[in-house]
Structure 1
Amino acid sequence: MNYWQAVLLAIVEGLTEFLPVSSTGHMIITSALLGIAPTAFTKLYLVVIQLGAILSVLVVYWRRFFQSFDFYLKLLVAFLPIVLVGAFLKKYIDLLLESVLMVGVGLLLGGIVLIFIDRLFPQEDPQQGGHPVTNPGWRQAFTIGVFQCIAVIPGVSRSAATIIGGLSQKLTRRAAAEFAFFLAMPTMAAASAKALLDYYQEAHAHGVELGNLFSAQELKLLALGNVVAFVVALLAIRLFVDFVSRYGFRAFGLYRIIVGGLLLLMLALDIPLALL
């Protein structure tokens, strides 16, 4: 992986981490298009640069992190289901992450769901006696966390799964999107920590010491990727929340169907993805 490839992947991560289009799926597709070999380091890079993206949530919503202790407890409750799924199904999840076919299927099916999601969960109108939820309760937080577990399938989108979970609990579009952002922080931090630990254990088993875990270039690539993902995600978060609050999720559903359909067509016709 060179610096330009690292930057492009970080831009894709920053743009898609908080959109309901699957950041992991898009990075897998981008890696294939760029012809990046799936080495241990490149796989780690795809996970760790998510840290830069999720730190943008802390910057944009920093006031929310000083509201109450309940806020953190609700995040913990929502976080627990993915911890259990990750602990018991990690081997199978890792295999799925290598499948471009699964990305295409996940994008396509998820797109169909998003096309109809605004009809399935219409927004409550206070003027007509509705009671829109802007702050999830304990049971609602746990339910959203269960929905997040679906995102272990590449192409499904962690953001989409948690937002749909929030909408199913009568949260407003804005509240559902924002809670998905907050939940990304412990989820992605844990995923990055686990990826780094696994990377170290594998390297240590081959006699590599901690001080030699990364080369100077690899450290620069990780730093650059996180900075780029952070800056791009700052812009993406603000634009996304305003957009879905006004227009809903149909546009993202159409986008997913187009991308997923094209990807599956290329695979069916045996067209190589490494075009660049």
Structure 2
Amino acid sequence: MSDGAWFLLKALFLGLVEGLTEFIPVSSTAHLLLVGDWIGFSSGNDKVFEVVIQLGSILAVMWVFRERILRLVRGFFSGDPQERRFVANLAIAFLPAAVIGALGIRYVKALFHHPGVFAVTLALGGLIMLWVERRPRHARQPGDRAETEVSQHASAHALEQISWKQALAVGCAQVIAMVPGTSRSGATIIGGMLAGIDRRTATEFSFFLAMPTMLAATVYDLYRNGAALDEAQSLAIVVGFLSAFLSAMVLVRAVLAFVSRRTYRPFAWYRIGLAAVVALWVLL
């Protein structure tokens, strides 16, 4: 196999890794960078590949939630107060990371080159998840009955009832997730739960918040670094993007089904175990 074909095969594999980890609280960025390092995949110093292919996963979510998005758009332009409130909350949650990201992206990306950071953030995030899952929850959302009985309509209603203070709490949590290894989905879901949102609704809000966040990150990264990409890197991004899209399409519904019945404890223990592996790798 030629070097070019091998490079694209690695990009395909990393796209699968991205799609399978983007929407579970284990940090897709940490997995992309660690696995990429372990298999010898070099995407360049600016890590454009790792940022851009995440948009493939986001487009998969947009496809899965297309009916809800269309209803949101129609309601917003027709003056529906609940849909406009939902859009306003998404904007509130998006702004903190947008501002901090624009000002400090250079310092954030510098952390991408230090695997020891992943060991700390993975372990710390896992411990926080275990703590949050042990806390008694009194979610201030409609439908406090068993989550397994929450219908899609009821979930949508709960999304529309999130307060601006809860949205801001999720947005602040997303800022923390800029540190690699933290997990954007994990931080926003746990942040929502701490703010009083039930697990399933926090997960869905995290999905919707990922749309403007990752779209903005992709456009910004391509604007800054797109001209420096060579043909091989550009093709690798296309392959990884498509791979992430297809694998995420499979996972999104599975994640929602999982959180309707179970806690995030398995992911917490996985993070702690991976942190131990990374720590040993760094030390040895």
Show the counterpart of 2:217: 191
Show the counterpart of 1:25: 30
Show the counterpart of 1:73: 88
Letter of the 1:109 counterpart: L
Show the counterpart of 2:19: 14
Cα separation, 1, equivalents of 2:241 and 2:100? 26
Q: Does 1:148 align with 2:174?
A: yes
Show the counterpart of 1:103: 118
Show the counterpart of 1:3: 8
Show the counterpart of 2:190: 164
Letter of the 1:142 counterpart: L
Secondary structure of the 1:36 match is coil
Letter of the 1:87 counterpart: A
Question: Contact (CA 8 Å) 1:104, 1:261: kept in 2 or not?
Answer: yes
Question: Contact (CA 8 Å) 2:43, 2:49: kept in 1 or not?
Answer: no
Show the counterpart of 1:89: 104
Cα shift at 1:91: 2.1
Show the counterpart of 1:46: 50
Q: Does 1:238 align with 2:243?
A: no
In percent, how many aligned pairs have the same letter?
38
CA RMSD of aligned residues (A): 2.1
Length-normalised TM-score, structure 1? 0.86
Secondary structure of the 1:134 match is helix
Cα shift at 1:247: 1.0
Question: Contact (CA 8 Å) 2:193, 2:202: kept in 1 or not?
Answer: yes
Question: Contact (CA 8 Å) 1:121, 1:170: kept in 2 or not?
Answer: no
Letter of the 1:8 counterpart: F
Q: Which runs of 5+ in 2 are unaligned?
A: 1-5, 77-83, 147-154
Cα shift at 1:17: 0.6
Cα shift at 1:116: 2.2
Q: Which runs of 5+ in 1 are unaligned?
A: 204-212, 271-276
Show the counterpart of 1:182: 208
Cα separation, 1, equivalents of 2:10 and 2:136? 39
Question: Contact (CA 8 Å) 1:56, 1:230: kept in 2 or not?
Answer: yes
Cα separation, 1, equivalents of 2:8 and 2:222? 21
Number of aligned residue pairs = 254
Cα shift at 1:251: 0.4
Show the counterpart of 2:132: 117
Cα separation, 2, equivalents of 1:223 and 1:127? 44
Question: Contact (CA 8 Å) 2:26, 2:271: kept in 1 or not?
Answer: yes
Ranges of 4+ aligned residues in structure 1 off by more than 3 Å: 123-128
**Closer/same/farther in 2, CA of residues 192 and 126 from structure 1, 3 Å limit:** closer
Which of 56, 60, 63 is residue 56 of structure 1 equivalent to?
60
